[in-house]
Amino acid sequence: MPANPKLNYVTGSSARKYEYLDDYSKTKNNHIKKVVKKTVINEKLKIKTVFLISCLFVMLMIITYRFNVISESNLTLQTLKADLERVQSNLASTEMSIEQSTDLSKIEAYAKQKLGMQKPDKNQVVYIDTSKDTNVVKETNISFVDKIIESIKRHINNIK
């Protein structure tokens, strides 16, 4: 049978040296290093997870805030539209009342009843004949220089 490589046979009177105890301490140290490495990796993973959850929360808060701003704008728009419709209906009713109040028969009735007016008689009516040519004197504002030029033109026409 071949010799066990873990056992170190020494010739002579010395005791045997067992290396498997050294291997155990080495594997134990390696195992501790692996556990420490895993815990460091787990800590990094936890930090990344917390960071991602925080980013997600912030993004959701921004979306919620933006939705709130849009909703408020829509509410303001709806109230303005309602106000506009109310003002337009008020304007239409005011225009209608103005048209009704400018009815000629109502004006005539008001003038007769409240103001005591009446239609003129035949002897109160005066007719003016506009068929004759009337001379209308045109008044113009002519400057001093224009007057001089006109007088020179008249003088030249008289000479010819």
CB 4 within 8 A of CB 23: no
Which helix (H) or strand (E) segment holds residue 159: the answer is: helix 144-159
Place of tokens 């829509």: 74
| One-letter amino acid of 117 | M
**Of 73 and 147, which is predicted with more confidence?**
73
Q: Is 140 exposed, middle or buried (CB count within 10 Å of its CB: 0-12, 13-18, 19+)?
A: exposed
Average pLDDT in the 69-74 region? 96
Q: Domain boundaries in the chain?
A: 7-159
On average, the pLDDT of the chain sits at 79
Residue 136 to residue 134: CA distance in whole angstroms? 6
Q: Which of 28-42, 49-63, 105-119, 141-155 shows the lowest mean pLDDT across its residues? A: 28-42
pLDDT at 144 over 70: yes
Tell me which of 137 and 151 has the higher pLDDT.
Answer: 151
pLDDT tens digits, residue range 25-71?
666 666 666 666 777 778 888 899 999 999 999 999 999 999 999 99
Whether 130 shows a pLDDT value over 60: the answer reads yes
Q: How confident is the model at residue 81 (pLDDT cuts 50, 70, 90)?
A: very high
